[in-house]
Structure 1
Amino acid sequence: MSYLNREERREHILQAAMRVALDDGFTAMTVRRIASEAGVATGQVHHHFTSGAELKSLAFIRVIRALLDVDILHEQATWHQQLHMMLGSNDERFEKYIRLWREAQILAAKDDDIKGAYILTMEMWHDETVKIIHKGCQAGEFTLADSAENIAWRLISLVCGLDGIAVLGMASLDQTAFERHLAKMITLELG
């Protein structure tokens, strides 16, 4: 590996951690595995991060930020379509991200670092949802009967609940039903 300054090396290790997280989840994110992925000694990981937990949390936050920033709709997409995509995309490219988010939710109950990162990513998701709602209102596509912040939390709660049920593999909540329920709630909340 060529010479990297401190910030570049830290970023290189963080990128390796993100790849491990997406490929194999939190349990694979050992310092040894991340160091191997980055092509550095384990001491370098410890030098740049206070703990493996810090590295896992930062990598998770960056992975979710990347997911939230993906723009897969065409420029003429309606605000309804953009909101629907932000809340419940069925694009297979995002399955690794969703799997990691589900794993973080479970780990948050027993790992304070992951819990903090999970809460932060939920707030990031909420902020992006609120932005779309506001833009949809400005465009005259949405009508608010409550604050955008409250509506966003209700929509996110619905998605989390539906996802929790869908993970159980219940035939009555397949992807089509998920999409139908989400579209109905968006219409009920925003017109």
Structure 2
Amino acid sequence: MAYLAKDERRKAIIIATLQVVAEKGFAGITTRAVATQLGAATGILHHHFSSLSELKCEALRFLSRKNEMKSRKMAQELTPTQSLLKILSFDATPEEKSEACIWISAADEAAREPEFGRVYAQESNRYHEWVCENLKAGAKTGEFTLSLSPELAAWKLMTVAHNLYDVSSLPHTDLSPQMAVEILKQELIATLGLKSKDLASQLLSSQ
């Protein structure tokens, strides 16, 4: 592996870790698998991270910060409805779908490993804060007519979207991705109201 500064090398290791996780899940990664993905010896991982658990935690934090920066950028460029639909994986790109799978795997890992679970909870709270900000902005502009408080509505939409994506991604499920999207859209109608022209447009385009 070519020479990199310390921070750049840590970042390269984390990115390699996320690539492995996207394929094998958090439960399936090893230092050897990450080193192979990185194209380096396993010793370099031990030099920068005290344990595989620390590496997993830092990888999740890295992905969370990346998602947060992207979300805040979207909030500046798009309407609240448009940015919410993007963050809930409407018309997701292959990269976004891969990242959604990583978050699904993270939820499973959080139940197995206490320290990772603590980090997962912290990053989920940060995600919730952004969704709350989005819902409040949409309500302020008249795009959303919330049936719940922004805090409760945010948790509701997050959990419904993630669970639908999780189940519809299983190889033998009867819940297709198209059915999952339709269920989520109906949940958006119930939770946000239909004042948003963007949401109405999305619903009409699927019919």
Change (3 A) 1:145 1:176: same
Instruction: Provide closer, same or farther for how the CA distance between residues 161 and 14 of structure 1 changes in structure 2, counting only shifts above 3 A.
Output: closer
- Deviation, 1:33, is 2.4
Alignment of 1:28-39 (within 5 A): 28-39=28-39
Q: Cα gap change, 1:164/1:20 in structure 2, threshold over 3 Å: closer, same or farther?
A: closer
Distance 1:68 1:33, change over 3 A: same
Q: 1:103 aligns with which of 102, 105, 108?
A: 105
User: Structure 2: how far apart are the matches of 1:164 and 1:16?
Assistant: 23
Provide the residue aligned with 1:6 in structure 2: 6
Are residue 87 (structure 1) and residue 77 (structure 2) matched? Answer: no
Counterparts of 1:12 and 1:76 in 2: how far apart (Å)? Answer: 29
Unmatched runs of 5 consecutive residues or more in structure 2 = 194-207
Equivalent residue number for residue 60 of structure 2: 60
- Indicate the SS of the match to 2:111: coil
* C-alpha displacement of 1:68: 5.1
Give the equivalent residue in structure 1 for 2:198: none
| Aligned ranges 1:1-191 → 2 under 5 Å | 1-67=1-67, 69-70=69-70, 78-93=79-94, 94-167=96-169, 169-171=172-174, 173-191=175-193
Q: How many pairs does the alignment contain?
A: 189
Work out whether residues 64 and 97 of structure 1, in 8 Å CA contact, stay in contact via their aligned partners in 2.
no
* CA distances 1:17-76 after superposition (whole Å, capped 9, x unpaired): 222223443245311222233343322211211111110121133234434554798x98
Amino acid aligned to 2:126: M
CA distance in 1, matches of 2:91, 2:13: 30
Structure 1 stretches lacking a partner, 5+ long? none
SS across alignment from 2:40: coil
Provide the identity percentage. Answer: 29
Report which stretch shifted further, 61-70 or 179-188: 61-70
In the alignment, the residues of structure 1 paired with residue 3 and residue 79 of structure 2 have an alpha-carbon distance, to the nearest angstrom, of: 47
Name the CA distance, whole Å, in 1 between partners of 2:181 and 2:125: 23
Aligned AA (2:55): L
Return the letter of the residue paired with 2:151: E
